[in-house]
Amino acid sequence: MTISKSIDILFSDLEHQFSIKKKNLDPIVKGFINELNTGLITPSTKIATMIPSFVTKLPTGNETGTFLSLDMGGTNLRISAVELKGQGQVQVLELKRVASKELKTGEGSVFFDWIADAMEELVHKKAKHLFDTDQLQGIEPLALGICWSFPVHQTSVNRGTILRMGKGFTLKNTEGRDLSDMLHEAFDRKGLNVKVSAILNDAVGTLVAHAYVNPRSRIGFIFATGVNASYPEKISAMKAKLEPEYYQNQDADTEMILNTEIDIFGSETYLPLTSYDLALDAAHNQPKFQLYEKMLSGAYLGELTRLIALKFIESGGLFEGVTPEGFEEPYSFPTMYMSALENDTSVNKEESFKILSNYQTVQPPTYSDIVILTRICRIVSTRSAALACASIAAMIEQQGLDKNEDGSDIVIGINGSTYEFYPYMSDRIYNSLLEWFGPDVSDRIKLEIAKDGGSIGGALIAMLCSI
């Protein structure tokens, strides 16, 4: 068989495995809705999904004041002083740190001390002018909202037990401990009077932050290193998850934002896992965990592409059959490179050649290598968009928003690098939504970027909870 023939066969097989049309979406959306409803009637102690946030208020856009927020995402720690100026306007002073592998896999207290160091720098240096003397001297506490982009078993708005973290974090002596306690201990060691007034997941923060801008928001969606979604649910539907003393004091119609942890949803029974997904999972330090997330989030798209490319190299059709030096390393092809390749519409493919120059090759890469690799990226990212659509569709149907006949917009606050910076991602999600819902409903769906969901959402909830 000629090389070009074997490449054709590889592509047609790949396209077949990765294509998600309406009929393939069906079991996924149904499976997700099923898990949403099972999760609602399962006590939170027995399940790591469908976590109550204890956030029952959304901002009006008119609130004012300065509040602290701490946003711990996949790799970045962002500590901010957020000035709410009213009329949906905010100003953020932010300090950013990157967590090293040693920090992510080391002792928990060392990690929390690292956070306290950054907090000290923000409060006493960068944002000093925003606080009064009593606050700076620690006489008056500063209110902090924590946006924690990992599963937490929340027991109240400002308390929550740290669960298994994911995203490469394996902190020692943290699982089962209260997140606020661990932070307060670290702040005490530094002599900082910062009080955690709210803990929230980034998906919850995104919904709250976007509600400050557009009060019609009904879903918070994260599409970044990880994926997740949140939505408001009637407290009466989630009694199994709350203490009777809590819900007895609430109006039956009150809604609370739920952190679905949809990243953990799904199983081999209904997710269309390919041999590449299974290989990625088997080599992961947390196998069988977050199978869905591993199929679509920014942490994994590059690795899936690399695994597929290795197959093409093996066939002789890519890089003349020789693996470029460095490319054999797991996770050596980041999702960012996929974005760059897909973004490069130039004739000479200058940017793409630049990306490939990160690897040593015996023969210089050819134009055809770039075309093949870019096509693999497109296949992997198009599936990712369809899988994101599955989450969004499930959340819309769960709330019956598709059945509202008033023709109103279905507003989704969406945040994350994979959505914001991956070329054509938004169009591809809309294509899948159109395929799933048809034009009448899909035209009403508005995916709106919720900027700084973590930091602004954190500060807003700190504010809502301290009044």
Write out the residues near ligand GLC by the rule CB under 6 A: 73, 149-151, 166, 201-203, 222, 224, 226-228, 261, 263, 293
DSSP 443: T
CB of 160 to ligand GLC, least distance (A): 11
CB of 362 to ligand GLC, least distance (A): 39
Q: Of 74 and 365, which has the nearer Cβ to ligand GLC?
A: 74
Question: What are the residue ranges of helices labelled H in 357-408?
Answer: 367-398
Q: Of 196 and 379, which has the nearer Cβ to ligand GLC?
A: 196
Report the alpha-carbon distance of residue 438 to residue 432 in Å, rounded. Answer: 10
CB of 213 to ligand GLC, least distance (A): 20
Q: What is the DSSP string of 91-141?
A: EEEEEEEE--HHHHHSBHHHHHHHHHHHHHHIIIIITGGGS-HHHHTTSSP
H/E segment holding residue 60? none
Strands 410-415, 217-223: pairing is parallel
CB of 128 to ligand GLC, least distance (A): 30
Q: What is the DSSP string of 212-278?
A: HH-TTEEEEEEESSSEEEEEEEEGGGGGGGS-HHHHHTS-TT-EEEEE--GGG---TTTS---HHHH
CB of 166 to ligand GLC, least distance (A): 5
**Virtual torsion, Cα 311, 315, 321, 324, nearest 10 deg:** -10
Residue in this structure with the two tokens 């630049």, named with its chain if needed: 354
Q: Of 149 and 398, which has the nearer Cβ to ligand GLC?
A: 149
Q: Of 233 and 293, which has the nearer Cβ to ligand GLC?
A: 293
**Residue among 456, 380, 459 at smallest CA distance from 415:** 456
Q: Of 163 and 434, which has the nearer Cβ to ligand GLC?
A: 163
Q: Of 224 and 464, which has the nearer Cβ to ligand GLC?
A: 224
Q: Of 202 and 397, which has the nearer Cβ to ligand GLC?
A: 202
CB of 288 to ligand GLC, least distance (A): 15
Burial label for 275, CB within 10 Å (0-12, 13-18, 19+), is exposed
**Residue among 255, 354, 321 at smallest CA distance from 52:** 255
Residue closest to ligand GLC (Cβ):
226
CB of 72 to ligand GLC, least distance (A): 10
Residue in this structure with the two tokens 């059945």, named with its chain if needed: 403
Q: Of 39 and 73, which has the nearer Cβ to ligand GLC?
A: 73
**Residue among 142, 179, 140, 135 at smallest CA distance from 158:** 179
CB of 361 to ligand GLC, least distance (A): 35
